[in-house]
Amino acid sequence: MNANGSKGTFKSILPYLLLLLVSGIMLFVAFRLPPKKNLKSLASAAPSSKELLTMLQRQNKIASTEITIRKIGIYESGTEFVSINPATWKLGTRLCVIPVDIKILYGIDLNDMKPNDVQLLPHDTVLIRLPQPKIIDRSFEPVSNHQEVVALTTGKRKKVGESTMQQVKTMAFQDVIADEKQLKNSFSDEIVQNIEIVFTSMLRPMGLTPKFVTQNSQP
């Protein structure tokens, strides 16, 4: 009677054992096979070159720096805008020393990048061609601060007028802008380094390794 009871008990739990076995096999297969949804999301997460270019160009503000340069403009009647030794000032000349604050936005304009300046290469590498640094914008305050102007009038000549001051400031401004080589030597390396750091921090989490070159160099 005990044997029959054991057989009855075994038969009653047999379907549950089979169900657990089938469930275990299904779970094993499910964990072994990569989920289709995950594969699809990974494939869609890989950006195109065009999408990368748009993403990088949004960082345009970090690709430049604003510089303020104070240039001292000197005026002597009858001469052009030149640096004048005060020891040469003579009686009867009109003299004026005018400080000019010149603001320059210098750096790399990422909007100058073309579609082929960002290329996807093998081994998850991204080739990025950066434009050359340049003066993006420049300006100076047109209104003279007369408290900062040192005007010396000798003899019976008239005082230096506002129009003359504006001419001096304009020539001082042009003198600074013309010396772009000095700006390049002073700021280009730092600007390029800042761009490379920011772009690398953006691309690394995406599994991409950037390779930077300038427009005039070979990859």
Instruction: Write out the chain's pLDDT in tens, 219 residues.
Output: 444 555 555 455 656 556 655 665 665 555 555 555 454 444 446 789 999 999 999 998 889 999 998 887 777 665 544 444 555 555 555 567 788 889 999 999 999 999 999 999 999 999 999 999 999 999 987 766 666 666 555 544 556 677 777 888 888 888 888 888 888 888 899 999 999 999 999 999 999 999 999 876 444
Residue pLDDT, tens place only, 44-72 = 467 899 999 999 999 988 899 999 988 87
d(CA 57, CA 131): 12
Task: Give me the pLDDT at residue 61, please.
Answer: 87
- pLDDT given at position 18: 63
Tell me the C-alpha distance between 154 and 172, whole Å.
24
pLDDT, residue 39, reads 44
* pTM for the whole structure: 0.64
| Beta-carbon contacts of residue 127 (< 8 Å; ≥ 6 apart) | 118, 119, 120, 121, 211, 213, 219
- Indicate the length of the chain as a whole number: 219
DSSP secondary structure letters along 93-117? -EEEEEEEEEEEEEE--GGG--GGG
> Given this model, what pLDDT does residue 132 score?
92
Query: Which tokens go with 114?
Result: 């073309």
